[in-house]
Structure 1
């Protein structure tokens, strides 16, 4: 269970960044009410905060964790942590400022946070480009993790107010995730067939929930189901991504 905090950290943080950016983009096109946008962004930041707090459990002694900041610029993990802290600070302040109704510089700050969020999610896959883990050092690691920004972020954004844009982005992300599944598993199998064989159940459950969430998102695009429906779809895709990420970390060495 040692890598479980990283499972939650990566999935929840990537989904939160995706939702944050989509909410901002949707508000730019529809001129959403400032307070309403601020509240939605704050909810996305709360999701990010949960992922960040859980992820810190992986660091062991938190006081020593500050040493990671000394590697900024040369260490992928240090870059990831620094960017996560910067996004948390700028995104949280911007969300609270907009929620309070005092726009001013808070909207530009929100766009700055979005840019930092892009850099953050791009930095995460660089941590796993490890020569000794063949199943991680592939282009699919980048693709799968960045797709979480679309799948989880899209459906969370739909739940928080960017309904149409979020559903479309989430649906596209889920379709892409399913389309690359055969080639992704093939690459993993060639890298380490024994490890991959042990993750059949995790990957199978992930695909099942992915299909259910996709069907739910398509239905929501065609109809106007109650908010509880969107909540179920968002919850389903987050659990699906968590299951897939468990399988991903199990490709390293110790099963969870």
Structure 2
């Protein structure tokens, strides 16, 4: 049973990367868009934020490019669009294209010699809205009645909380790269606390999901036998996530000297734990009846 779970997760490794990176990048862009909206009249700060929006944008694109390997060929993405409105996958792809298109065009527009403040405000708001819609469609893309281990309310909630935890830490690091240091002020503290709250909430949700998983199975056997990494991955996620939040918090409250390297270590720890959770999620794949 465990061998089947490992095999399935390895086959879906591209989707593991996608669901690890894309929500993080999208949520970070929401954070940066909201910050930019508040600082839209501060030309120097806004210019720096706009310039380095390419960081979470690139993270999201890497995740999306990885997901195209799941389709066998990137060209098959065109056929996926045929199911818009009735297929969760098609809705997910459409929302990704819309979100990345709006974010990418805004980033290009930000290099205009005299960008209009009103246009930037509307565009930033559109980025935040389409990013939230994209995360929502990613979250519900696994709600299939025939896959009993995925068709639970905990799965979409957990995916959203993944983004809400990793996004602020990615935004934290991006602001440091941009020279708009979030440390020592209210902004850094808000980002660190937001990630910590999302981590705590997600651990509760993942615990409830494991509780449900313990009672699931089909003719092939119990669900937990398929995913022996389910519990260890949640523990790892809790440990690495807590370490990441503590490291960000120590910088935000001025307990240690702020440094981009520390923020990158925190982000790496978090994404490693998140990757483990997503990997075990795909190991859980179990259909109703006698299917694998």
The reply to whether TM is greater than 0.5 is yes
The 4+ residue runs of structure 1 with deviation greater than 4 A are 99-102
Q: What is the correspondence of 1:129-168 to structure 2 with a 5 Å cutoff?
A: 129-161=143-175, 163=182, 164=188, 165-168=190-193
On the 8 A contact 1:39/1:96 being kept in 2, the answer is no
How far, CA to CA, are the matches of 1:156 and 1:64 in structure 2?
31
Which stretches in structure 2 are left out of the alignment for 5+ residues?
1-9, 183-187, 217-222, 287-292
Give CA deviations for 1:16-75 in whole Å, capped at 9, x if unaligned.
111001011122334452221212212111111111111111110232331111111111
How far, CA to CA, are the matches of 1:99 and 1:175 in structure 2? 39
- Counterparts of 1:94 and 1:80 in 2: how far apart (Å)? 21
- What is the alpha-carbon distance in structure 1 between the residues aligned to residue 285 and residue 113 of structure 2? 47
SS in 2 for 1:103: coil
C-alpha displacement of 1:107: 4.1
- TM-score, normalised to structure 2, is 0.80
* Larger CA Rg, structure 1 vs 2: 2
What is the aligned partner in structure 2 of residue 174 from structure 1?
199
Corresponding residue of 2:289: none
Figure out how many residues of one structure are paired with residues of the other and give that number. Answer: 253
2:228 to 169, 172, 197: 197
Distance 1:102 1:44 in 2: 24
Contact 1:207 1:240 in 2 (8 A): yes
Instruction: State the Cα distance separating 1:135 from its structure 2 match.
Output: 1.7
Note the aligned Cα RMSD (angstroms): 2.0
TM-score (normalizing by structure 1): 0.90
Confirm or deny: 8 A CA contact 1:129 1:136 kept in the other structure.
yes
Partner of 1:35: 47
Shift of residue 100, structure 1, vs aligned partner: 4.7
Aligned residue runs from structure 1 range 195-234, under 5 A? 195-223=226-254, 224-234=257-267
Q: Deviations over 1:136-178 (max 9, x none)?
A: 1111101110001111101001111173143232122112223
The verdict on how the C-alpha distance between 1:95 and 1:196 changes in structure 2, with shifts beyond 3 A counting, is: same
Q: Flag structure 1 segments of 5+ consecutive residues without an equivalent.
A: none
